[in-house]
Every structure is written in C-alpha cells, then in structure tokens.
Structure 1
Amino acid sequence: MTCTPAVAGDGPTKPDNSNEIIVTAQKREERLKDVPVPVSAIGGNALLAVNQTRAQDFFSSMPGVNLQFVNNRAQLAIRGITTGPATGNPAVGFTIDDVPYGSSTGQGGLFGAAPDIDPSELARIEVLRGPQGTLYGASSIGGLVKYVTVAPDTRGFSGSVGGGLNMVNYGGQSLGYNARAALNIPLSEDTAIRASVFTRRDAGYIDNIRTGRDNVNSSNVTGGRLSALWKPSSSFSLRLSALYQVRDLHGSPSVDSRTGAPFQQTDQIGAGPSHSEVQMYNATIKARLGRVDLTSVTAFSRNSNSDRIDFTASPLTAAVFPLVYPAASDFGHVMMTGYSVDKVSHETRLSGTLAQSFDWIAGGFYTREKANYTIDSAATNPLNGAIYGYPVIWRDSATYEEFAGFANITARLSERFDVQLGGRWSRNTQSMIHREWTMLEPDPAPAAHRETNPQASGNAFTFQVSPRFKPTPDHMIYGRVASGYRPGGPNAGCNTDPAEPVPCQFKPDRTINYELGAKGDLLNRALSYDISLFAIDWRDIQVTQVSALGTFTYNSNGGKARSRGFEISLEARPTDRLTAKMWWSYVDATLRQGFASAVLYAAPGDRLPYSSEHSGRFSLDYEAPLRDGTKARLGISATYVGERKGEFVPSQAEAPLRQSYPGYVQFDINGALNFGPWNVNAFVQNLTDKRGLIGGGYYNQTNFNRYWFNLIAPRTVGLSLDYSF
C-alpha cells in the first residue's frame, strides 16, 4: 500500500519527485516497494489532517486489520489471527522506536492493547501483516505495528502549535478538543533536543439512565515527550527519549440494546471509569565500526491501568452473591481491576555486507517483566452503589524473562534476484504467585485465603525464507514463508477441583505464513500496486475460557485454525492534483479442528472471532493552488467493514446464538487550507451517522451481558488550526 511519508526532519522521507516511501520494517531503511513483507504505513501529519487522533482511528483504514475492544481499550487482529479480545497473550506485537511495548503475556492486563500516542509525535506508523517472529520475536504471530517517533533535528530551530474542536452527534453541548505544541532546539552542530506536550478530550455521547449521568464515555488524554540527539560524527549517534502519557475514561463505551433508544447504557453505580498511565525511557546508540553497523536499544517502561467493570450479568452474581448475602434483595457487581507492568529490554544488533553479495544482520535480545494484577469483586447495592463486601479478591504477581538470538542474511544471486534467510531462537521462563481471599464485609480482615505458584517455560525457533525477483527497478515479485511463536504460560487460578478444573499451564501456539506478493509502479509511476496472496496455518491455538461460576478467565489450547486470503492496494495519480487510493482485503479465517469443554464450544469450519471476510476502502484527495500561495485540499473516503462473528459460545446448544456483527460502510470528508505556516483542517467523520457494531453481544467474556454492544462513534464534525515555524 502506498502511503503518506514522514515529514522533513522526521527521518527518512520520500524523494521530492516520486511516491517512494522509506520504512524500517526489516530493521534497516528500505523503499517500501522493495520490502518483501506486506507493509502499510501512514505519517503522523496525515493522521492529524483527518483527525485520526485515537488508537482505534489509526487502524480503521489498514488492509487486513480488524478492531476489537476489551476493558475500554483498542485491540487489533491482523489477517484473522485471534480467538477473541480477552485471550491471554497478545497476537499482535507493538514497538515504539524498536522498543517492545506492553506485556508479552496477558498477565500484564494490557491484553495487547494498541498504544494511544498522539500523532503529532509520530513520523509514521508501519503495520506489518503476517508473522514477524524472526526479527521481532514472541507475540507477533499475526503481525506487528511499529510506531516511529519524530527525532530531534540538528539542522535548525523549529516548532509547531495547534489545536482543534469537535462535536459528536448525541453528545449534546459536549465538545471535544485537542491542543499540542512541539519545539526542536539545536544546541550545537551535533546536538539537538525536541520537546512536546499534548492534551485531548474526546467528547462523550452515551448516557447512563441508571445513574442519570450524560456523556459518560468522554475521556481525557494528556502526555509529553522529551528526546535528545547527540551526533558528533557521521559514524556515531546517541538518542535518548522519555515518554509519559495518562488517559482517563470516565465511563464505559457500551450501550444497552434494551433501552429502546440509541446510545444509552445501564451500567451499575461505580462502574465504568478507567485510568491508565504509560512511561517509557530508552537509549539508542548507532555506530559504524569499520564495515559493520552497530545498533543498541535499551529501554525501561512502566504501564499501569485500572478499570471498574460492571460484572452484574456474570454467573457469579446469581450463583454466589445471594448465598453470601441472604438479607439483600438485589445485587450489582462492580469488578475493580488493576494492572501494572515494569519492563526492561535490551537489543544489540550488528549489520553489514560481505563480498558485495551478502547483506546480513545478527543480534541478541533480552527482556524481563514484572507484572501485578489485582481484582476486587464488589457486591453492591444497585440503588445507591453501597458495597456489601468482596466475595472475590485476587492478588497476582508474575514475572516473564526471555533471551533470544537472531540472524538474517540476504544473498544477492544476481542484479534481479535475491533470497533472504532468517532464524531466531528464544527461551522464556515464567512464574506466578496467585493469592485469593473472600471478604464478606467491607472492612474486616479477609476471612479465607488460598495461594498457588504456577510456573512455565519454553523455547522456540522461528524462521523466514523470502525469495525476491525484480524484473525491472519499478517492479518486484516475492515469496515468503515465515513462522511466528506466542509463548504459553501459567494460569492464576489453577486447581485440581473436578467440579471446576483449571490447568496450571497452557501451551505456546505457532503460525506459519505462506505468501506470494508483488509491488511496483506503472505508467511512469502514475499507478502503484501492492498485491499479496497468503495462507496461514495456526496450531495449538490459545483460547480463553471462563470458570463455571464466572469467577475468572483462564487460558487453554484448542487445535488448528487456518487463515487464507488476498490483499490488493492501488494508488493512482492521474494528475499532480488528484490522488485516488483503494484497497480490498479478503480473509477466510476458520477453525480446522473444533473444541468443546464445560464452558466453551466451537466446531470445525467456524469463523474466527472479529475477522471480516471482506473489507475495503476507497478515497479521493484533490489539491489545488489558490492565489497568493494558498493551497486547498479536499478528501473523501468510504471504508467498508464486512460481517464478523463474535466470540465462541459456551455449548453446542448455544451455537445458533453466536453473535454476528453486520457489515457497514463509513463515509468521511476532510478539507484543508494551507497558507504559509498556517494550516486549517475541517472534517466530518461518519457522515451518514452509521451505527456500526464492533463488539459486545452474546457471550462477551468481559461483561457477560448479551444486550451490551460497542459501536463506532456517531457523526463527528470538527475544525483544527496549526502553525509551524
């Protein structure tokens, strides 16, 4: 997919007279059309132009990518490789400047949620489809998302300020806003710093008719970043970066279909709010050692979040609460969860060229994570929110440690043909201390206590083989066989109770991707194309099950699944002023083996959750010069998301009730005026006010309420103003 480039000063850019984009998908700079990997990319400025400022907005227009929600956070599924949003270990990996983001396991509570970084600090986002286990390691069995931030620039003083307002349908008088500022300061010829801050309020549009609060799903995000670059010579550079961000969601984004009115909910008093913080500190050294390039990336990150979820519809509420509190006539159930992950990671890699015919890269990787997970399951009075007590209290502490070594070599057998070979070996160890209590009253000491200490370990070898043929400099045909690995792990509530058995470990799962693709330009680069055919075999798939009483979820393994399909992207530039883009994705992601337990059922041939069989997007952008140097731009787009299936059901008898999400089309319009350093953008998102379903419904493992759904945002209109200097 041809994409928007990074802006000047952000790192690699496209040449002035071409549509070429430079990406780092394979940990080295390459033209997008030369990379034998299906990659989509978009620049931060392009995201701001159309007001795509949230994580869920970033990926709405990427081929083969589907959005899921869990605990108020956006998750991704790429090419259908998912068994649901709450499945323990992430299937899509994320990096920020080559630093792994989030937890490698589900015990960190982030469940593979996408980082919500303001696009003003992004040079670009790269989305790599298919397993990326060789260069990027565990938990990228479906694909990888790379965030590339804006680097300090020693060439001159610069900066920008900007902000905007928006109004969402059904939000009443509630306004959303954003404001941002960035400053780049050269301290000397070889040193520069860049500092930035931003704040954003997303207006709410869902009313809670139980509590009487309007627009409860509004949210605030505030953050900043500081980066310093020291480059004393062309052969050495040191870059230090610090990122901090805090996000507060004031209420759940779920709506209750029983109310009979759009965008209303019935969440319990005290449920809905969510708070998260992200800190990341990293140091990157690049050095030229003779004929070898060295890159060293060391980082520390701390991610934490807390949620208050309405669990009233869970089996635990009906089965246990009346027995524990016989004097109460009605119950609410507010589950208060907390997660935190401290993560240290380091990677050193070397690269070079041998005999002018072999390009190579080799390195080592280490990470250690310390995660804490808490649950306070509160029995509440639904009339006033008063707490009767805490029938379930969990305190988990988990560690994850991994060592890995990897190598990749490209053998240029002729000027037109080369072959890439790569491998990665890794070993991980995991341990957990799980404690649980029951506290029948709000204040006294816990009345009961149980402790387990499950552990797990494993090693894996992943590989990739990619032959590449270039009949001309403007065309490339490639094949790709690549594997991915996701570690298994321990289960917190493991036991040998025959009435509710929970395994103490679950196994890793693996994918192998077979791909044939082609990229290139036609008609003197007036038309670009990117086509890929793929088949992914997935075995020992990890699935999440719910305990019989609905007290907790745990992980286990199913059998085999398969995803097959194609992706086609085209970009046409019939004139210098007009650009037309389209992509279409077909993904047939199904189970090859069914599974059945006391609480989960799926049959061979069942569709994997949340994957669209068909999806696509078409957009037109027209830019025209006006007098006095002013430029005007107008863009329109239509995005189609096909029908999807929800999570697997508890039993064969309930298979006909499995949730379906109808397909929908979202239309967006945006326009801009650029005059010198000033830029004015206007936009309308979801022009026709479509109510597309993207989650919830029957057997949702995060809320158990078949009447609760997540929808795309209603029609949103906004205006922004930016000044650059």
Structure 2
Amino acid sequence: MTMSTKFGRIAAAKALSGSVMLCLVGAPGVAWAQDQELRNENPDEIIVTAQKREQLLSDVPVPVTAIGGGDLIAQNQTKVEEFFASVPGVNLQFQNNRSQLAIRGITTGPVSGNPVVGYTIDDAPFGGATSQGGLFGSAPDLDPSELARVEVLRGPQGTLYGAASMGGLVKYVLVKPDLGAFGGSVAGGLSWTKRSSEVGYNLRGAVNVPVSDTLAVRASGYTRKEAGYIDNVRTGESDVNSSRVSGGRLAALWEPTDGISLDLNALYQVRNIYGSSNVDSTTGSFYQQTDMPGTGRSRSETQMYTATFNADLGGVDLTSITSYSRAQSYDNLDFTASPLVEFAPIFPTLFPDQPGLGDLFYQEYNVDKWTHETRLAGSFGDSVDWIVGGFYTKENGDYSLDNSAIDPVTGDTVGVPIDDGNGPQLGTIIVWRDKIKFEEYAAFANVDLILSERFDIQVGGRYSHNDQSMDHNDWFQYDPYPAPAFPSTNQPKASGSAFTYQVSPRFKPTPDHMVYARVASGYRPGGPNAICGPLALPFDVPCEFKPDKTVNYELGAKGDLADGALSYDVSLFHIDWTDIQIVQVLDVFVYNGNAGKARSRGVELGLTARPMDGLTISGWYAYVDATLREAVEDANFFAREDDRLPFSSEHSARLSIDYEFFPSSSIEARIGGSATYVGDRKGEFVPFEGVYDLRQNYPSYTQFDLYASATMGQFTLSGFVQNVTNKHGVIGGGFWNQTTYNANWFNYARPRTIGFNAEMKF
C-alpha cells in the first residue's frame, strides 16, 4: 500500500440517500494495480475517480458529490434536471428541452459563450468545447441504468480536465464488466404523473458474461417513456411534452496478465421529446401552453466509443484513453415572441398584411469529437507521488438554423421562398450555416509532496493550446422572391493558450480530522464570431472573443466524531472570474464578447448522522453569493455592479433520511425521503437599462420525495413518490430568457409522479 493510501482517512460513509456530499483529499499517484485492493479492503465506502484514479472519498482535495446509479433509479430520478437539482451549489438552466448547469453561480446565461461545465464519460471528455456544436454545454441526459455513479466536482478543474471545466466537472462512471461470475438483471416499472392521461414505463436489462478467466463482456439495453402532462390549448393536443429514451451499451474487459487491462465501451442512446414543457402563465394553469403547431419537438442521438488501456510497468502505471463520440440533435422551437425576429418590422415587404404569423425556428447542432490522453503515474519513495500526461482533442461542430413563417392555425409555412443555392424553400426567411473546427493540445502534471504523516502538499499545472476555424454562410430574404436572398460568408479564426494550476496543502491534526486549502484556476477558450468585421458594419463586432478565467480560493475541514456516528465536511470558497464571456445582440444576429468581472463566494456544509444501525440522516446547506463586480452597458446587455448572476440560488439545502431494516430473515427493506430547498434566483440579464426592473425573478421552492423498497433474495420491488406536495417550482423561462423567448412562458418542475419498479437479478 502506498503512502497516499495510508495517508487517507478510513471513512464510514455509505451512499444511501441518493445524494451524499463528499469533500475529499489525496494524491494522484497510487498504482493502478491497487485499485481493486482498495475496493476489497473498504467495501462499504464510497470510491470516486475525481483525480483520474479510484480513491476513497476522503482522499481528494476537491468538493465532490457522488450519486449512485441504483439510487437514481430507486427514486425515479432518470433525467438530469431531476438528479442535479439535489447537488449542493448547482443550479439548472432549462433551455429548449435541455438542462444546463451552473456550479457555484459561474454563468451569465444558457447561451453566453462556450461551455463552463465539463463532462466526461469514463474519463473521456464528452460534448463540444464550443458553443455552436455543443449548443452551449448541455448536460448529457444518460439513462442511469448503466451508471455506477455520477460525480459532480465543484469549482475549477482546469489542471486535470482542461478547457470548459472552469465552473466544475461532471463525471459519468459506467458499470464495468465483471470477470468473476455470470449474472445480470431484468427490470421494469410504471409511473403516473398528475394531470396526465398517459402511463409512463421503463424496461431495462443487462447481462454479464465471463467468456474466460481473462475476458468478460457486458451488454445492456433500456427504454423508457415519460408521460406528458401539458396540454396545448391552441392545437387541442393533450400531454404534448411526453418523451421516450432508448439505448444500449456493449462493454468488454480483457485482463491478459496481472497488471494489464483493456476496457472497451460502446454506448448508444436516442432521446425523443415530442413537445416543449413551456407553460403559458396567461392561461391561469400550470398545465397549459399556447405554442404554435409544429413546434416543440426535439431529438438527440448520442454515440460514444472508448478504449482504455492500463499497464503496470513496474513502479510506473500507464493509462491510455482514446474515444470517439458523436452527438446529433435538433429542435423545433416557437420563436413567435422572440425579440430577435419580428417579421413585420424586420421584413416589411415580405409580410405587409399578415399579422399574427408564427415563427418556426428549426436548429440542428452536431459534434464529432476525437480525444486521446496518455498519462503515467508513480512514486519516488514514500515522500513523492506524481502523475504526468498529455491530451489531444479534435472536434468538428455543425450548427444550422432555418427560420420560417408559419400559419398560427395549421402550422404550415407561409409567405415567400428563399433560395440558398439548394432551391427555394417556402416561407423560410433566414438560413444560417456554421461549421467549426476545434483542436487542442495539452500537457499536465500533478505532484503530491508528503512532508510528514500529518502534512502534505499537492501541486499541479496544465498548459494547453487550441486552434479554431469557422466556415459561416447565411442567407436573408429581405425582398419578395424571385429577388435574390442576401448572402454573406465568413471564415474567421481564433487561437489561444492557457496555463492552469492548483495548489492543495492539507493537515491532519488527528487520524479522524483534516483541514485543507485549495487554490485552483480554470479557463474556457475564446472563439470566432460568425458575423464580424466588415460584414457587421456599422457595428464594431470583433472576429474573435477572448477566453475567460476563474481562480478559486478554498478552505475546508472534515472528519468523523463519535466513532463515525457523525461525519462533517465544510468548505468556504471565493472565486474570481475575469473577462466574462457574454452574448450580445445586434439587429437579428448574436455574437460573443467579453465584459467585466464577477465574484462568487460562499460556504457549503454537509452533515451525516448514523444514530443507530441502518439509519442515516444526511443534510447539506449551501450559501452562494455570485455577483458582478463591474457594471456592463454594452450592445443589448445591461447589468449593474453587485447584480446577482443568473440562475444561482443564494441559499439552498437538502435533508434526507434513509432507514434499512430486516422485517424478517429473508427480507431486506429500505424506506427514505428527502426535502430539497431551492432558493430564489434571478433570470438572465436584460438588453437595456429601460427594462432593468423587468429582470425575471424565480421564487424559492421546496420539493419532497419519498421512496421504499423490499429485497427478497434476487427480487426487489420498489416504489416512489416524487414532488409529494405537487410544488410548481420554476426552473426556467420568463422575461428576456433564451429558454422560451416569451415573457409569459415558464418551465416548472415535474408534477407529482407516483410509480413502482421491479427488478430480478440472476
């Protein structure tokens, strides 16, 4: 066992309540071959991979929340907007049927600049590094059936994870094949949502096959339907926002000799959402909308293929990860109330006598992404653990939109055609096409200096360089066809380099208590603007926007009291954010710029009590003060100093209770519940000073959830009630919001949902 393992505290925590907040400390350089030994020695403890290897929850100086995939299914938290809502310091931005995250308040809105939160699937980066292809960093909506756990790392993670993790990182950890035994499971369930005439369902199955002593294969598949509950009073359709998700995974693990392994993974998922979750507040109902016919549909298709090679080279551990991912998505959005496209004033010759037209905004956004990382880890005696590595990624992103006038009754396109070189398209007013290439190289290193049994210091750095190029084309039909559409083309480029770092000393006054500090930086790359320079005259639009940076200063403490009956962890943080990327609007197009400074500071406190066998009471509280430090009065972006950043709750909290007991010798039962409080939030910044007082306010709300299960041998039956009191918590929408483009449209938390699941293992 290495010094860093000996240095770790043996905690008594178990991931029982679906959301456990962990603040962890340790070194990165423990041998890969000892990971399984670590699991065998500590079977009841939470193990995470926050620092690119398996570690006990007490061994990483990063605030981490770990959520088990089984707990997500038991509580029916199958969508990202459901399970991320229970993570401290994390707020959701629900945009066009997608969930985007703000961690510790680091955001200025869902479409402002490149992504601020990074995502990995089994340590391979997923999603676009640019706003165009990845559509501003949407959280992957993976079904939890194949997830061992989800880890949320709060604060900048630029040293080990690079660009796009300046706010934090989300790691999806998949279930691995097992060389030890044949087995599997079959599961299914039903659910009922308030005000829905549909029944939701899910079917899941998985099988693990040891082909030989050195090779195992795991295959799985799933499908689920979530009932719609919103009625469209314009079209007369009921339950329009139903959805269906289907997918599968094939994985193989090959261990030809001790110290060598190869993991292969292929993942595929399709998500179809058949209508938006917009609610029109003018109807007086939480279950009605007035979206135009033919709008609201969205689809995403996700593929990911990963090969991970590990080898013990005799004192040095080699890890090599190669991945290819493809994400293809489209949305049909209702832009009728958009301030960007109002047909009458912008296109007066096209629609002189046609008031009340609808506006269909069809957009596609696709990313093809290759990544490779090679790293080496080892030790110099008992006093130094180290890791060094290199990283490369290349991605091609496509973004396209077609903006069309539609009949508000039938949904048919109306008006005159546009000819973009592929023939006239009826009713299309704007055609926009972007292709962007992003390429990045990086090198990183982390060293843990163990100065004594009680004190060590971890130091790390990362240098990265990126190059970007864009091919932009658009057509605007200002005058009636056959007048030619007004075309424009542009090929802007951008490049940049960055150095990120982290320093993390820790001190253990006793084996059960630890104090640590952390200084860490993060950044996200800048990029090119599609319309800029002479094309944007008379406006001064730069062809390249700059990267922005965060620096996090943190002090934490944690430990166990009363022989593990009570555990605590507390973290105080201060984040400085400079050169903030913001979205700006000119005429009928948007571009990215940089403006000002912001600050986020706060405290996160977690407590876990185990007053008796089987009973766990956990709670956390987070205070986040995320504000601008400079006023911004730029093109259609207005904010004052000390304004709250969008979507961040100043106060949030969660309390959960979980009790495991044995009503008989053959039955293991579990009951539990949680209360999650989301504080009031502010919407996006407004376009100009005259509407400053109209900036959207989202009120606070508390959601209660219950669950229970009984296991009899290989059979488990579980039930759940989500949103017990049917609270209509606002998660998006309102004035000047890029979510709905209508001041009267809002998105609410899912109504009360009741259901059960049955699982049989073999």
Q: 1:193 aligns with which of 198, 207, 217?
A: 217
Deviations 1:100-157 (A, max 9, x none): 0100010114321111111110111111100000000001011001111000110010
> Residue 573 of structure 1 aligns to a residue in which SS?
strand
Distance 1:139 1:400 in 2: 13
Q: Which residue of 2 aligns with 1:540?
A: 579
Instruction: Give, in angstroms, the shift of residue 5 of structure 1.
Output: 7.7
Q: 2:599 corresponds to which letter in structure 1?
A: R
Deviations 1:512-569 (A, max 9, x none): 0000011221111111111100000000011112233xx3322111110000000011
Q: Which residue of 1 aligns with 2:141?
A: 116
Indicate whether 1:610 and 2:634 are aligned: no
Equivalent runs, 1:471-510 vs 2, <5 Å: 471-496=509-534, 497-510=536-549
Distance 2:520 2:635 in 1: 35
Q: Which residue of 1 aligns with 2:728?
A: 691
Uncovered stretches (5+) of structure 1, i.e. residues with no partner: none
Q: 1:564 corresponds to which letter in structure 2?
A: R
Indicate whether 1:84 and 2:109 are aligned: yes
Q: Retained in 2: the 8 A contact 1:5–1:13? A: no
Indicate whether 1:594 and 2:631 are aligned: yes
Q: 1:128 aligns with which of 118, 131, 153?
A: 153
CA-based RMSD: 1.9
**Residues 16, 490 of structure 1: alpha-carbon distance in 2 compared, 3 angstrom cutoff:** same
**Residues 475, 557 of structure 1: alpha-carbon distance in 2 compared, 3 angstrom cutoff:** same
**Residues 19, 269 of structure 1: alpha-carbon distance in 2 compared, 3 angstrom cutoff:** same
Q: 2:645 corresponds to which letter in structure 1?
A: L
> Residue 349 of structure 2 aligns to a residue in which SS?
helix
Q: Which residue of 1 aligns with 2:8?
A: none
Q: Which residue of 2 aligns with 1:390?
A: 428
Indicate whether 1:573 and 2:610 are aligned: yes
Uncovered stretches (5+) of structure 2, i.e. residues with no partner: 1-10, 19-34, 415-426
Deviations 1:651-701 (A, max 9, x none): 112111100000000011111111111111111110001001111101112
Instruction: Give, in angstroms, the shift of residue 325 of structure 1.
Output: 2.2
Q: Which residue of 2 aligns with 1:288?
A: 312
**Residues 17, 417 of structure 1: alpha-carbon distance in 2 compared, 3 angstrom cutoff:** closer
Q: Retained in 1: the 8 A contact 2:651–2:679? A: yes
Instruction: Give, in angstroms, the shift of residue 584 of structure 1.
Output: 0.3
Deviations 1:231-290 (A, max 9, x none): 012210001110000010000111111112221111111110001100000100000112
Q: Retained in 1: the 8 A contact 2:478–2:486? A: no
Q: 1:494 corresponds to which letter in structure 2?
A: C
> Residue 364 of structure 2 aligns to a residue in which SS?
strand
Q: Which residue of 2 aligns with 1:347?
A: 373
Q: Retained in 1: the 8 A contact 2:214–2:254? A: yes
Higher mean C-alpha deviation, range 464-473 or range 560-569 = 464-473
Q: Retained in 2: the 8 A contact 1:543–1:555? A: yes
Amino-acid identity (%)? 58
Deviations 1:584-626 (A, max 9, x none): 0000000001111231100000000000000000011112201
Indicate whether 1:298 and 2:322 are aligned: yes
Instruction: Give, in angstroms, the shift of residue 321 of structure 1.
Output: 3.9
Instruction: Give, in angstroms, the shift of residue 702 of structure 1.
Output: 4.0
Deviations 1:30-61 (A, max 9, x none): 21122111111011111111111111122121
Deviating runs (4+, > 4 A) in structure 1? 10-19, 439-446, 498-501
Q: Which residue of 2 aligns with 1:415?
A: 453
TM-score (norm. length: structure 2): 0.92
Equivalent runs, 1:423-572 vs 2, <5 Å: 423-439=461-477, 447-496=485-534, 497-548=536-587, 551-572=588-609
> Residue 33 of structure 1 aligns to a residue in which SS?
coil
Q: Which residue of 1 aligns with 2:15?
A: 4
Instruction: Give, in angstroms, the shift of residue 387 of structure 1.
Output: 1.0
Q: Retained in 2: the 8 A contact 1:3–1:42? A: no
Q: 1:650 corresponds to which letter in structure 2?
A: P
Higher mean C-alpha deviation, range 13-22 or range 552-561 = 13-22
Distance 1:442 1:162 in 2: 58
Distance 2:14 2:235 in 1: 45
Q: Which residue of 2 aligns with 1:258?
A: 282
Distance 2:428 2:580 in 1: 34
**Residues 460, 207 of structure 1: alpha-carbon distance in 2 compared, 3 angstrom cutoff:** same
Instruction: Give, in angstroms, the shift of residue 6 of structure 1.
Output: 13
Indicate whether 1:182 and 2:206 are aligned: yes
> Residue 155 of structure 1 aligns to a residue in which SS?
coil
Distance 2:662 2:189 in 1: 24
Q: Retained in 2: the 8 A contact 1:109–1:339? A: yes
**Residues 347, 144 of structure 1: alpha-carbon distance in 2 compared, 3 angstrom cutoff:** same
Distance 2:539 2:200 in 1: 47
TM-score (norm. length: structure 1): 0.97
Q: Retained in 1: the 8 A contact 2:127–2:134? A: no
Q: 1:233 corresponds to which letter in structure 2?
A: T
**Residues 93, 618 of structure 1: alpha-carbon distance in 2 compared, 3 angstrom cutoff:** same
Q: 1:310 aligns with which of 322, 330, 334?
A: 334
Q: 2:392 corresponds to which letter in structure 1?
A: Y
> Residue 104 of structure 1 aligns to a residue in which SS?
coil
Q: Retained in 2: the 8 A contact 1:12–1:22? A: no
Distance 1:472 1:30 in 2: 20
Q: Retained in 1: the 8 A contact 2:696–2:735? A: yes
> Residue 229 of structure 2 aligns to a residue in which SS?
coil
Indicate whether 1:679 and 2:716 are aligned: yes
**Residues 658, 12 of structure 1: alpha-carbon distance in 2 compared, 3 angstrom cutoff:** farther
Equivalent runs, 1:204-353 vs 2, <5 Å: 204-315=228-339, 316-317=341-342, 318-353=344-379
Instruction: Give, in angstroms, the shift of residue 572 of structure 1.
Output: 0.7
> Residue 319 of structure 1 aligns to a residue in which SS?
helix
> Residue 612 of structure 2 aligns to a residue in which SS?
coil
Q: Retained in 1: the 8 A contact 2:740–2:746? A: no
**Residues 46, 702 of structure 1: alpha-carbon distance in 2 compared, 3 angstrom cutoff:** closer
> Residue 323 of structure 1 aligns to a residue in which SS?
coil
> Residue 153 of structure 1 aligns to a residue in which SS?
coil
**Residues 3, 486 of structure 1: alpha-carbon distance in 2 compared, 3 angstrom cutoff:** farther
Indicate whether 1:53 and 2:78 are aligned: yes
Distance 1:595 1:158 in 2: 59
Distance 1:196 1:553 in 2: 43
Q: Which residue of 2 aligns with 1:644?
A: 681
Q: Retained in 2: the 8 A contact 1:438–1:446? A: no
**Residues 515, 449 of structure 1: alpha-carbon distance in 2 compared, 3 angstrom cutoff:** same
Distance 1:239 1:626 in 2: 41
> Residue 62 of structure 2 aligns to a residue in which SS?
coil
